[in-house]
Amino acid sequence: MSDIVIRLFARADREQVTSLVNAHIAAVMPGVSVSVQTVLSQLEAEPGEYLVDRWVRDRVTLVAEQRGRVVAVAHLLRYSAGEQTGECLRGAGEIRWLVCWLDAPGWPDAIEAGDTLAVACHAQFQRWGVTRRLADGALPAPGVYGVPEQWPHIRAIYERIGFRHSGRTEIVFVVLVSGLERPADPVAGLTARRTMGINGTRFTAVLDGADVGYVEVDTNLDAGPRVSRVGTWADVGNLWVEPAWRRRGVGRWLLGVAAGWLELGGVTRLLDYADEDEDDYAGFLTACGFTELTRTARGFVGGDGPRKGRTEA
């Protein structure tokens, strides 16, 4: 084995860790990167995940140092076993994300460090006494979660230590806001009402005083220090049309209304998401001009994992 040391993250690692995180983000999201402050903030808390972050009992970040270089990093969470924790996460341990440099001519054994780090994650779970072991790739950037298809080396690391994909696969779509149609009203008398929504600004289609559909767009993806160089991205928080009004152009019209508002704020790109088996919704997005950005696998569940490697954590 090459000279690999597994240890706790130290503040002096922050620049190397951020570079590694950004290399993985850039493979999924064009032109997006995060700041050192963003990474450090996520290691401490994820307030945006307000439903599940309150269930977290412990957080640990491990690094694999190889010949003086940070080659792999993993952020681990331990969820409370109390009844206030959702059943799916109760007592669980999760690799929130793991990132690792690829083998290269000048550094041919980086993946070995990633494998050793992954084993150390299992050792940490053992010390915590967790009842379930989960793995994900939720980096602090929009559209980067699960294990994207652009990270086959991360999926392989997870699979070598016993994790298996038992969840769903989601498709992340993107469109240039300037490319969204601004269709004419699909029915006479249709108007739009703009209000604050649950997952962003809501645009409601109103006909004869009745709501027949709405779309919500979240423009706060780069709020504060959380994300830098995310540029002008937004995502669709919700899109719903009354069943009687589906396939009549209301959904496309709502996206056009939202597009006009987004352009006023300088937003240039819009994300949306669909499960792999949501053919109708994926077809709707494609017809509106969205294209597939990535497919990401969610729901990796593991056993006890192998027992090897060295840890100082």
Cα–Cα nearest to 79, from 11, 15, 136: 136
Residue 309 belongs to some domain of the structure: no
Are both 133 and 275 inside the same structural domain? Answer: no
- Written as one letter, the residue type at 28 is V
26 and 136 within one domain: yes
Structural domain total, the chain = 2
Are 104 and 219 within one domain? no
Task: Determine, yes or no, domain membership for 112.
Answer: yes
Same domain as 159, residue 13: yes
Residue range 114-134: average pLDDT? 98
- Which pTM value belongs to this model? 0.92
- For residues 145 and 19, state if they share a domain: yes
- Whether 17 and 122 share a structural domain: yes
Q: Are residues 51 and 94 in the same domain?
A: yes
pLDDT digits (tens, 9 = 90+) for 140-193: 999 999 999 999 999 999 999 999 999 999 999 999 999 999 999 999 999 999
Is 313's pLDDT higher than 80? Answer: no
User: One-letter amino acid identity for 15?
Assistant: E
For 100-112, the pLDDT digits (tens) are 999 999 999 999 9
- Residue 202 CB contacts under 8 Å (≥ 6 apart), including other chains: 194, 195, 196, 214, 215, 216, 238
Q: What's the rounded mean pLDDT across residues 86-112?
A: 97
Tokens representing 116? 């050793």
Report the pLDDT value the prediction gives residue 306, as an integer from 0 to 100. 56
Q: Are residues 183 and 149 in the same domain?
A: no
Task: Give the sign of the dihedral formed by CA 221, CA 227, CA 230, CA 231.
Answer: positive
- What pLDDT shows up at residue 221? 79
Same domain, 162 and 184: no
Task: Report, as an integer, the average pLDDT of 36-47.
Answer: 94
**Among residues 167, 199, 222, which one ends one of the domains?**
167
Under the banding of pLDDT at 50, 70 and 90, the label for residue 305 is: low
Q: What is the pLDDT of residue 224?
A: 45
Residue 106 lies in a domain: yes
Distance, in Å, from the CA atom of 92 to the CA atom of 86, rounded to the nearest integer, reads 10
Supply the pLDDT for residue 101: 99
pLDDT in tens, 238-293: 999 999 999 999 999 999 999 999 999 999 999 999 999 999 999 999 999 999 99
Say how many Å lie between the first and final Cα of the chain, rounded: 19
Residue pair 113/66 in contact by the 8 Å Cβ criterion? yes
Q: What local confidence, expressed as pLDDT, does residue 194 receive?
A: 98
Model confidence band, residue 311 (pLDDT cutoffs 50, 70, 90)? very low
Mean pLDDT in residue range 30-54: 92
pLDDT of 235 reads 96
pLDDT above 70 coverage of the chain, percent: 93
pLDDT in tens, 186-242: 999 999 999 999 999 999 999 999 999 999 999 987 654 445 455 589 999 999 999
Q: What's 50's domain CATH number?
A: 3.40.630.30
pLDDT for 222 equals 62
Q: In this structure, is residue 83 part of a structural domain?
A: yes
17 has pLDDT over 90: yes
The Cα 44–Cα 52 span in angstroms is 14
Residue type, 91: G
Q: What is the mean pLDDT of the chain?
A: 93
**Residue 97 and residue 4: Cα distance in Å, rounded?**
20
Domain range for residue 215?
174-296
Rounded mean pLDDT, 53-70: 97
- Residue 83: Cβ-neighbour burial (10 angstroms; 0-12, 13-18, 19+): exposed
Both 285 and 182 in a single domain? yes
User: What pLDDT sits at residue 1?
Assistant: 47
43: amino acid identity, one letter: L
Distances (CA, A) of 56 to 37, 39, 50, 73, 273: 21, 18, 11, 19, 26
**Could you give the CA distance from residue 272 to residue 142 in angstroms, rounded to a whole number?**
11
Contact (CB, 8 A) for 147 and 137: yes
Closest CA to 28 of 271, 313, 276, 274: 271
pLDDT the model gives residue 271: 98
308 domain residue, yes or no: no
Pairing of strands 300-302, 164-165: antiparallel
